[in-house]
Amino acid sequence: MTTIEQNARTVQSRIKAAAERCGRTAEDILLVAVTKTRDAETVNTVLRCGISHFGENKVQEAGQKLPFITEPYEGFHFIGHLQTNKVKALLKLNPSLIHSVDSLHLAREISARTEGYGRTQDILLQVNTSGEESKSGCEPSDLPLLAKEVSQLPHLAIKGLMTIGRLSDRAEDSRQDFKLLKHLAEELEKLQLPGLDMKWLSMGMTGDFEIAIEESANLVRIGSAIFGERHYDR
């Protein structure tokens, strides 16, 4: 068994334990392997470990890698900061979920570009719950209006929210960020906006995914714990 296979099993076991601590099951949690900087064969290795979703941060890197991924998978996620001038190239790759929509301007571009494919693009709205200037994401107070405006755009479906926990050596410090995202999701559900479905709470990475699961995450993005410490999650 390779190191990656061993690491993947360990991560899956930790997810199962965290879920059970709060009355859930491992099946309730979607694990997305963060595969940026890794070659296609490494991605294939992960997919053979029973992880069927992977996430990329850069459009150009994803485009170079995807043609060489030969193992079957269920979802390719785009989880990095997305510039409007990269939207056209990203949509050609048919991402199952774009996690990082944080402005009406970006949402409009995705909607307009998606029209040509005759499909609906699933997205998450990214929120800066930690208040750190280094983080992308809309302000929590701006989320209701952003959700209302994006929900009116054709060819898009809001499937939940995404956040990145604060940068800290203590996983516990991110708990308040995750609590806030859960609260925001509950408030959005009350608005009953058309085309909005709070299916996913995408939060938690290598350093804090167990805390995130305890605070209702059902999608975690993990790279370092699977691939090694030189790899960074998103």
Residue 158's H or E segment, with its range, is strand 156-162
Fold topology of 3-227? TIM Barrel (3.20.20)
Interatomic CA distance for residues 232 and 122, integer angstroms: 25
How is residue 143 written in tokens? 């989320």
pLDDT tens-place string over residues 179-204: 999 999 999 999 999 889 999 999 99
Q: What is the largest CA-CA distance in the chain?
A: 50
- Exposed / middle / buried, residue 81 (Cβ in 10 Å: 0-12, 13-18, 19+): middle
- Exposed / middle / buried, residue 118 (Cβ in 10 Å: 0-12, 13-18, 19+): exposed
pLDDT tens-place string over residues 164-178: 999 887 878 899 999
Would you write out the chain's pLDDT as a tens digit for each of its 234 residues?
Answer: 789 999 999 999 999 999 999 999 999 999 999 999 999 999 999 999 999 999 999 999 999 999 999 999 999 999 999 999 999 999 999 999 999 999 999 999 999 999 999 999 999 999 999 989 889 999 999 999 999 999 999 999 999 999 999 988 787 889 999 999 999 999 999 999 988 999 999 999 999 999 999 999 999 999 999 998 644 566
| Domain locations in the chain as residue ranges | 3-227
Residue 104's H or E segment, with its range, is helix 104-115
